[in-house]
Amino acid sequence: MSEQNPYQTLGVTTESSFEEIQTARNRLSQEQGGDRQAVDRIEAAYDAIIMDRLKLRQEGKIKVPDGIRFPKPPVAPTPVATGTTSPSLGWLQDYLDTPGQGDILWPAVVFGVGVGLVLLAQSAKDPILALVLTFALGANIYFLVRKEKRFGRSLLISFLGLVLGVGIGTVLVNLSGVPLGNGGLSAPQVVNIVTLILFWLSSSFLR
């Protein structure tokens, strides 16, 4: 059957009508119902004949009756647009992380305790402030190393957080215009709290 042309496969001629071609296709498919390969060859022959008739119709040589099924050429799947990052923001993906619940919760607890201890400080020179800041720096390094297993980068991020915390805290104190002390927060307390917040953000959302 593989050496026959499509018309011979269906047992029809080039003069056969569309109805005769369809009848032959249906009859042969029923006869070969248990042979998938044979049915596929019959369908391929039918499609080849219909495509031949379509070509003749386009050339104006024949008229094709309504209801004739023409095989459709395969359609390439539409590519699915994937989310792209703006080139100007692409560098952020190297540093931003999608943290799990534990990556947010445990640093929040540790640095939250640190904030509580800072608030308990009796004076601007209370040694607890330096101890909290030192412990928080070590904790931040630990959390980053535990998550990313890169000590050097964790150390760099932690020291940058410390510098930014001190800088931002100092600016806030200078811009607030609110007298410190006398029951309010001292400048070192503000600096410590800002730094602890930055440590929490960096240990949770940076890598």
Query: pLDDT: is 28 or 63 the higher one?
Result: 28
Mean of the per-residue pLDDT values of the chain = 77
Identify the bridge partners of residue 96 per DSSP, sorted by sequence position: 206
What is the pLDDT at residue 100? 75
Instruction: Round to whole Å and give the CA distance between 163 and 143.
Output: 18
Helix residue spans in the chain (DSSP H)? 6-10, 18-31, 36-58, 101-119, 127-148, 151-176, 187-205
Instruction: Round to whole Å and give the CA distance between 158 and 152.
Output: 10
pLDDT, tens digit, 9 for 90 and up, residues 5-55: 888 888 888 888 888 888 998 898 888 877 888 888 989 999 998 888 888
CA 50: distance to chain centroid? 45
Of the candidates 32, 33, 7, 35, the residue with the CA atom closest to the CA atom of residue 21: 7
Amino acid letter, residue 5: N
Instruction: Round to whole Å and give the CA distance between 99 and 106.
Output: 11
Does residue 206 sit in helix, strand or coil?
Answer: strand
Query: pLDDT: is 99 or 83 the higher one?
Result: 99
pLDDT, tens digit, 9 for 90 and up, residues 180-200: 555 577 888 888 888 989 888
Query: pLDDT: is 61 or 130 the higher one?
Result: 130
Give the list of residues 6+ apart from residue 151 with CB closer than 8 angstroms, or none. Answer: 141, 145
Yes or no: say if 142 and 164 are a contact pair by the CB < 8 Å rule.
Answer: no
Residue 99 reports pLDDT greater than 80: no
DSSP letter at 126 equals -
Instruction: Round to whole Å and give the CA distance between 1 and 5.
Output: 8
What is the pLDDT at residue 2? 46
Residue 177 reports pLDDT greater than 70: no
Rounded to two decimals, the pTM is 0.49
What is the pLDDT at residue 197? 92
Query: pLDDT: is 155 or 96 the higher one?
Result: 155
Yes or no: say if 159 and 134 are a contact pair by the CB < 8 Å rule.
Answer: no
What is the pLDDT at residue 123? 73
Q: Give mean pLDDT, residues 83-87.
A: 51
% of the chain surpassing 70 pLDDT: 76
Pull the structure tokens for residue 29.
Answer: 């498919």
What is the pLDDT at residue 1? 42
Instruction: Round to whole Å and give the CA distance between 141 and 97.
Output: 16
